[in-house]
A and B are shown apart, each in its own frame.
Chain A
Amino acid sequence: MEIPYTVSTRPDTGLWNAKVGIWLFLASEVMLFGGLFSAYIFLRLDAPPGMWPHGLLNVPVGTMNTAILIMSSVTVVLAWAALKMRKYRAYWWYMLATILCGVIFLTVKLVYEWPQKFDHFGAYIKPEELGKYEQYLGNEHAAAKGLPPRLEVTGHLHNRAALNDPNIKEYEVALDPLNADPSNPAMDRPHFFYMPPTDKIATIEKADVQYATMFLPKHSAYFASYFTITGLHGMHVLGGVLVFIYMWLPVSKRLYQRNPEHLANRVEVAGLFWHFVDLIWIFVFPLFYLL
């Protein structure tokens, strides 16, 4: 059976069918991500002072990933233009570049960024015990500077067993630079380059801790929304890459030889999806990495 209106336009809509289809789908995607973004806004507006962390993500890596996604958006539109000009060879190379960009993006996210968070530790100190850890929190300095209160000690957890073993009464944490030197004005604002935990070890008694966990979704509303939104976005990137791989394989060359315009339209529709994924990231990046 032949599928109607893959290339020619339908008289009543003035469009070939897949174009209407993808835009309806993208409309539903706007609602999906819109719901998550409104949840983000709500959680953030409602976060008590000091409970919305800043500077925990790696900004240069995030910037690089943003650039990679933007470049892939350019290559996919160039791939489409190459097909329109009937240059299959150029199309093939642009498509390969797009696929590689998508794979690099996902690899950075899944192999580098997320695991680094899973390996990071944070302990929220009980409000009444904050003074005991003043040397790590520097709340007097923060208050004098008009900064939000610091309630959490973060860094690399040396005795991981402490997380689950009730017999271990304290956490040994190699402190992050902020907690190692909290009164240093240079620590008042997040740094552009990632600063690894220092050699300075702090012992934090479990009895003084309100809540302690690795940087997992359960750590905070911030990380819960970060992992949910970047996770869903990552799944979209994966979906796009799989579709592009199909369009790059020899099976699509046969379609090109039979009906080049049909392949061009397929690439256009997949490209629209890809640009949408890029568009979502344009908002995700500043909201989580920078602000």
Chain B
Amino acid sequence: MNNPPDVSQDPKEYEEYAHNVQKHVRGYLMVGGLLLTFTAITVALSYVDFGARKANIAVAMLVATLKAGLVAAIFMHLAAEKRLIYRILIFTGFFVLGLFWLIFLAWYDYPVFR
């Protein structure tokens, strides 16, 4: 096989590495706390009347996007990932935006009852 052997960890190098991971753990806990806080904020804001339902939807989606961004950047390690992953995601973003764009095409495409 063309699989190189697993790198055996040099004990000293490994200690430093484990220490690095330990530092990240605090960050994960903080992000978890932030996500719970934002959830409470989303629920609370949904009972505030922003004048129009559209405004309420916009605010809720803004908070949700912020939360999703936190999950993706920190938990899914997208804040620092290899280039290939970003490339895959750029393609995905392009196609998913196209998918949502189809709504607007369909919107004008059939007899209007509204």
The answer, yes or no, to whether B53 is at the interface (CB within 8 Å) is yes
The answer to whether A86 and B39 have CB atoms under 8 Å apart is: no
The answer to whether B68 and A282 have CB atoms under 8 Å apart is: yes
Contacts of A34 in B (CB 8 A): 96, 99-100
The answer, yes or no, to whether B80 is at the interface (CB within 8 Å) is no
**Known contacts A67-B36, A272-B76; is-contact A42 B106 (Cβ 8 Å):** yes
The answer to whether B42 and A81 have CB atoms under 8 Å apart is: no
Contacts of A8 in B (CB 8 A): 3-7
Contact partner of B46 among A3, A66, A74, A290, CB < 8 A? A290
Contacts of A81 in B (CB 8 A): 21-22, 24-25, 28
The answer to whether A275 and B75 have CB atoms under 8 Å apart is: yes
**Known contacts A30-B92, A38-B102, A59-B43; is-contact A15 B85 (Cβ 8 Å):** yes
**Known contacts A27-B89, A46-B114, A67-B39; is-contact A77 B28 (Cβ 8 Å):** yes
The answer to whether A31 and B75 have CB atoms under 8 Å apart is: no
Q: Which chain A residues in 1-38 approach chain B with CB under 8 Å? A: 1-5, 7-8, 13-15, 19-20, 23-24, 27, 30-31, 34-35, 37-38
Which interface class (under 10, 10 to 19, 20 to 34, 35 or more) fits A? 35 or more
Give the number of A-B contacts (CB < 8 Å). 143
The answer, yes or no, to whether A278 is at the interface (CB within 8 Å) is yes
The answer to whether A31 and B47 have CB atoms under 8 Å apart is: no
The answer, yes or no, to whether A228 is at the interface (CB within 8 Å) is no
Interface string of B58-94 (1 = CB under 8 A from A): 0011011001100110011000001111001101100
The answer, yes or no, to whether A48 is at the interface (CB within 8 Å) is yes
The answer to whether A70 and B35 have CB atoms under 8 Å apart is: yes
**Known contacts A8-B3, A189-B47, A279-B68; is-contact A70 B39 (Cβ 8 Å):** yes
Chain A residues near B (Cβ < 8 Å): 1-5, 7-8, 13-15, 19-20, 23-24, 27, 30-31, 34-35, 37-38, 41-42, 45-46, 48, 59, 63, 66-67, 70-71, 73-74, 77-78, 81, 84-86, 189, 192, 259, 261-262, 271-272, 275-276, 278-279, 282-283, 285-286, 290-291
Chain B residues near A (Cβ < 8 Å): 1-7, 17-18, 21-22, 24-25, 28-29, 31-32, 35-36, 39-40, 42-43, 46-47, 49, 53, 56-57, 60-61, 63-64, 67-68, 71-72, 75-76, 82-85, 88-89, 91-92, 95-96, 99-100, 102-103, 106-107, 113-114
